[in-house]
Amino acid sequence: MAIKTVMVGLATCGISAGGEKVFEAFQKELQEGADFLLRETGCVGMCYREVLVSISNGNQESYLYGEVTPDRVKRIVAEHIQNDTPIDEWLVSGVDREVGFFDKQVRIVLRNCGVIDPSSLEEYLQSGGYKAVEKVVKEMTPEQVIKEVQISGLRGRGGGGFPTGKKWELTRASVSEKKYIICNADEGDPGAFMDRSVLEGDPHSVLEGMMIAGFAIGADEAYIYCRAEYPKAVARLRLAISQAKKQGLLGANIFGSSFNFDIKVKEGAGAFVCGEETALIASIEGRRGMPRFRPPFPAQQGLWGKPTNINNVETFANIPWIILNGGSAYAAYGTDDSKGTKVFAMAGKVKRTGLVEVPMGMSINDIIFKICGGIVNDKKFKAVQMGGPSGGCIPASLGETLIDYQQINKTGAIMGSGGMVVMDETTCMVDVAKFFLAFTQAESCGKCTFCRIGTKRMLEILERITEDKGKEEDLVTLDQLGEQIKIASLCGLGQTAPNPVLSTLRYFRDEYEAHIRQKKCPAHVCSPLLTYTIDQEKCNGCMLCPRSCPTDAIIGEKKQPHKILQELCIQCGKCFTVCNQDAVIKD
């Protein structure tokens, strides 16, 4: 019998679900004499079923267990590993279960995530790792590399969608003795974790992509600017760099060629604006992370004044695959405008939250319903927020919109870096707009008046509307101010900050109007706009709600229907939560 390999998901999502304890439980079984190999792996995407453990039988057969706890380990070892009998009721896949999650995905960026051990250079090499950079330095010219990336149609995955091959061509054309590559791993959008998963699950693929970019543009030095809040990603990157150096894959005369390349990790400064390329460069140089006017673009004058090519983590992770399989194989996926695949972090009210990688051209509805299983508790799908704080809300009526830069822009949202927050009928769109604007307002670096003060005024208006103090003229002011901030801001933060407000005003204006005119929150979220009453027919006088009310606003005798004194009620909702007769009405 072939020896089995057990892989425990130990990316951030696996660790927060208790993966380390599960790993220790398997280690204990090993010490007690069980016979198997134990490895760790990254995020396979099914974050909603962590802790995930895959067991391969050494003969192509692989079984995935979900929601594994330390208590389950003994039985898995005894029955599956020692007795060849997989435990069907704990399996996620391997016996055809939840295949819908994977069978519509195309995994190029995530090809190794959840498959190999990210701390093992050997496993990366066995999966074809560093073959692309070897091919490039031995068989290709920089121009050929750039051409291949242009054929692939790859566009930057950091949010802007600028054609990657074109950017490389521009940086190559800048004449200088010294040039740099920067990998943008700042990933600051709330709800986004695509880059973190790639860095934690397959760090060498990002290093390899950066090396190929360095060869193409003529750079010999690189930085990865990684969010300091990602300690696991930083540790995995540092380990991968030291392994690659030890093996001679990084350093001087790579694969016996004249190509030299070195990569350093720089931890981020904890500000969203530092993801903006000119602010990021300032931060690496040790200056305050503040955007500057462009041109000159980094391709002409970047880090320490030298031509610099800056790309996102996901952009780089695509590159080795493109070189090995050809630009046209990549371009075979997608639409005329948008080629290849895109990774999305699925969050919010969707049944299967986690990471998915889909071919461009798939519809939003297909991602939400076919891959992610639809809406939690089968509630009504209301909208999806794409592109984080710079993006917008796409209503369910436009759910057939395709994943394509142009199509998504037409809705008023943006592709962004890949955050998708799914909302159902219980979400208040004014509240959502307020959440995202509060984020960008707090993160504004303060350089531009419209971004600094305009967003503050917009936020005050939203606060007023959700606190029962909205005025009729507020919506016109929000529209006007939003458009002005977009035009008058220097960097992408200010230029896109009003998007969540403008897109919700466009599609959900009736909700704003209900807050202002009827003083009602239709989704029952904004508490100052809610009224609690008790249904006299349903209330059995059990006394639960008067005991929970912090302001003694509920009156009534035991076993008699109760009443709420509106002048005392502070809309805390406790009575609504405790009543088990559904007698408290929230409106």
Ligand X SMILES: Cc1cc2nc3c(=O)[nH]c(=O)nc-3n(C[C@H](O)[C@H](O)[C@H](O)COP(=O)(O)O)c2cc1C
Give the binding site for ligand X (CB under 6 A).
156-160, 162, 184, 186-188, 272-273, 275-277, 310-312, 315, 417, 491-493
Distance CA 12, CA 19 (A): 9
Residue 166 corresponds to which tokens in the numbers above?
């074109």
- Local structure of 586: helix, strand or coil: strand
Smallest separation, CB 225 to ligand X (Å): 9
Query: Residue 524, interface with ligand SF4 (CB under 6 A)?
Result: no
Q: Give the residue with the Cβ less far from ligand FES, 120 or 581.
A: 581
Distance CA 19, CA 16 (A): 7
Query: Residue 235, interface with ligand FES (CB under 6 A)?
Result: no
Contact 129, 303 (CB under 8 A): no
Q: Give the residue with the Cβ less far from ligand SF4, 212 or 553.
A: 553
Residue 329 corresponds to which tokens in the numbers above?
């194989």
Query: Residue 544, interface with ligand FES (CB under 6 A)?
Result: yes
- 405: number of Cβ within 10 Å: 17
User: Among ligand X, ligand SF4, ligand FES, none, what does residue 562 contact (CB within 5–8 Å per kind)?
Assistant: ligand FES
Label residue 541 left, alpha or beta by phi (over 0 means left) and psi (-120 to 50 means alpha).
Answer: left
Contact 519, 478 (CB under 8 A): no
Residue 553, C-beta contacts closer than 8 angstroms, at least 6 positions apart: 564, 565, 566, 568, 569, 570
Task: Find the binder of ligand SF4 among 235, 402, 572, 585 (CB under 6 A).
Answer: 572
What x-and-dash track marks residues 539-558 binding ligand SF4 by CB under 6 A?
A: ---------xxxx-xx----
Query: Residue 240, interface with ligand SF4 (CB under 6 A)?
Result: no
Smallest separation, CB 224 to ligand X (Å): 11
Q: Give the residue with the Cβ less far from ligand SF4, 182 or 273.
A: 273
| β-sheet with 381-386: strand ranges across | 354-359, 341-348, 419-424, 381-386, 392-395
Q: Which of 224, 284, 278 is nearest to 493 (CA)?
A: 278
Interface segment toward ligand SF4; rule CB under 6 A; list 70-78, 111-119, 185-193, 448-456: 448-456
User: Among ligand SF4, ligand X, ligand FES, none, what does residue 551 contact (CB within 5–8 Å per kind)?
Assistant: ligand SF4
Q: What is the DSSP letter of 504?
A: H
- Local structure of 21: helix, strand or coil: helix
Q: Give the residue with the Cβ less far from ligand FES, 143 or 582.
A: 582
Distance from chain centroid for Cα 155: 18
Smallest separation, CB 586 to ligand FES (Å): 14
Residue 26, C-beta contacts closer than 8 angstroms, at least 6 positions apart: 6, 8, 38, 53, 73, 77
Query: Residue 282, interface with ligand SF4 (CB under 6 A)?
Result: no
Q: Give the residue with the Cβ less far from ligand X, 39 or 157.
A: 157
Q: Give the residue with the Cβ less far from ligand SF4, 255 or 297.
A: 297
Q: Which of 203, 193, 276 is nearest to 243 (CA)?
A: 203
Q: Which of 280, 279, 302, 303 is nearest to 290 (CA)?
A: 279
**CB contact burial 485-506 (16+ within 10 A = b; e otherwise):** bbeebbbbbbbbbbbbbbbbbe
Q: Give the residue with the Cβ less far from ligand X, 47 or 154.
A: 154
Distance CA 241, CA 257 (A): 19
Smallest separation, CB 342 to ligand X (Å): 12
Distance CA 223, CA 385 (A): 31
Smallest separation, CB 163 to ligand X (Å): 8
Q: Give the residue with the Cβ less far from ligand SF4, 298 or 327.
A: 298
Residue 62 corresponds to which tokens in the numbers above?
């692989």
Query: Residue 451, interface with ligand SF4 (CB under 6 A)?
Result: yes
Residue 522 corresponds to which tokens in the numbers above?
């239709």
Q: Give the residue with the Cβ less far from ligand X, 149 or 523.
A: 149
DSSP 273-307: GGGSHHHHHHHHTTS-------SSPTTTS-GGGS-
Smallest separation, CB 415 to ligand SF4 (Å): 20
Q: Give the residue with the Cβ less far from ligand SF4, 240 or 451.
A: 451
Q: What is the DSSP letter of 570?
A: -
Q: Give the residue with the Cβ less far from ligand X, 12 or 57.
A: 12
* Placement of tokens 């951030």 in the chain: 12
Smallest separation, CB 425 to ligand X (Å): 31
Task: Find the binder of ligand FES among 157, 172, 196, 562 (CB under 6 A).
Answer: 562
User: Among ligand SF4, ligand FES, ligand X, none, what does residue 243 contact (CB within 5–8 Å per kind)?
Assistant: none
Query: Residue 409, interface with ligand SF4 (CB under 6 A)?
Result: no
Smallest separation, CB 64 to ligand FES (Å): 45
Question: Segment 516-535, which members bind ligand FES (CB under 6 A)?
Answer: 534
Interface segment toward ligand SF4; rule CB under 6 A; list 170-178, 378-386, 420-428, 566-574: 566-574
Task: Find the binder of ligand SF4 among 490, 502, 521, 579 (CB under 6 A).
Answer: 490
Q: Per DSSP, which regions of 258-376 are E strands? A: 262-267, 308-312, 341-348, 354-359
Question: Segment 323-352, which members bind ligand FES (CB under 6 A)?
Answer: none
User: Among ligand FES, ligand X, ligand SF4, none, what does residue 452 contact (CB within 5–8 Å per kind)?
Assistant: ligand SF4
User: What is the gyration radius of the CA atoms in the chain, in angstroms?
Assistant: 27
User: Among ligand X, ligand SF4, ligand FES, none, what does residue 571 contact (CB within 5–8 Å per kind)?
Assistant: ligand SF4
Q: Which of 314, 198, 203 is nearest to 265 (CA)?
A: 203
Residues near ligand FES (CB under 6 A) are 534, 539-545, 562, 579, 581, 583
Residues near ligand SF4 (CB under 6 A) are 273, 291, 444-448, 451-452, 489-491, 493-494, 532, 548-551, 553-554, 564, 569-575
